Amino acid sequence: MAEPGRCALGAAILAGGASRRMGRPKALLRLGAETLLERQVRLLAPLVGELLVVGEGLEAAGVRVPAPARAVGDGAWPRAGPLAGLVAALENSRARRLWCRGVDMPFVVPAVLGRLEELAVQAAGCAAVVPLDRQGRPQPLAAVYVRELALPPLAAALARGERALLAAVGALQPLWVPAACLEPLDPELLSLRGLNTPAEYAAARRRLEQA
């Protein structure tokens, strides 16, 4: 019997962070008529049963969290980096599996989410399914996490002073998904692409203008 209030799949957008390289909050950057955050909420909401936006002090920073997303803070570890945001997402989620994404990842490819969730269901006992880019680099902010398996070890790592997201996620011994497995669904691997610099932001704007 399903646990009351639970859903199979949710998503969490990590919207905290200092955005030092970008020079301004990424959640407020605009692509066309909407912000990065508004765009992700619009694209993700139809795909999942629950949608969270995680970040400390979002309202004070002028970030409005649009419905149907639910805003949550960083809990006991405010502004402690993306690992704290991931732990807060898992702590507040009612979903059994959670797709976590950075707010600066505007290209949502539903088929990629479907494939990652499928792998998470198939890989019984695996705490996370983490895609790799073409250089073999893990993308923990484009990964699916199994809440009951991932939350305890990630929270324990955070409590003992770990702040490196990749180290903590790697310790879960996740299922690593090579780029070649996702390229048939997302040939340019846009779903893994984050906007870290003004140049990358400008390139994303050009892409959408030309679409």
pLDDT in tens, 138-189: 999 999 999 999 999 999 999 998 889 999 999 999 999 999 999 999 999 9
Task: Confirm whether 183 is domain-assigned.
Answer: yes
Task: Confirm whether 2 is domain-assigned.
Answer: no
pLDDT bin (cut points 50, 70, 90) of residue 94 is: very high
pLDDT bin (cut points 50, 70, 90) of residue 206 is: confident
Sign of CA dihedral 124, 96, 67, 77: negative
Q: How far apart are CA 139 and CA 171, in angstroms?
A: 14
- Per-residue model confidence as pLDDT tens digits over 105-120: 999 999 999 999 999 9
pLDDT bin (cut points 50, 70, 90) of residue 122 is: very high
Task: Confirm whether 193 is domain-assigned.
Answer: yes
Task: Give the phi and the psi of residue 127 in degrees, each rounded to 5.
Answer: -80, -20
Q: How many domains does the chain have?
A: 1
Closest CA to 182 of 107, 99, 112: 112
pLDDT value for 42: 94
Task: Confirm whether 1 is domain-assigned.
Answer: no
Task: Confirm whether 205 is domain-assigned.
Answer: yes
Residue 70 token pair: 């639910």
Given a cut of 70, is residue 16 above it in pLDDT? yes
Q: What is the chain's percent helix, strand, coil content, to nearest 5?
A: 35, 20, 45
Q: List the single range of 52-61, 92-101, 147-156 with lowest mean pLDDT.
A: 52-61
| % residues pLDDT > 90 (the chain) | 61
Given a cut of 50, is residue 1 above it in pLDDT? no
Q: What's the pTM value of the predicted model, to 2 decimals?
A: 0.90
Tell me how far the alpha carbon of residue 23 is from its chain's centroid. Answer: 21
Task: Confirm whether 165 is domain-assigned.
Answer: yes
- Per-chain mean pLDDT for the chain: 88
Residue 74 token pair: 């960083």
Q: Which domain holds residue 146?
A: 7-210
Task: Confirm whether 67 is domain-assigned.
Answer: yes
- Per-residue model confidence as pLDDT tens digits over 35-50: 899 999 999 999 999 9
5 CB-near residues (< 8 Å, 6+ apart): 94
Pairing state of beta strands 95-102 and 7-14? parallel
pLDDT value for 75: 67
pLDDT value for 5: 58
Residues 185 and 111 sit within 8 Å (Cβ to Cβ): yes
pLDDT value for 2: 45
CATH at 66: 3.90.550.10
Count Cβ atoms below 10 Å from residue 133 Cβ, excluding itself: 15
pLDDT value for 69: 92
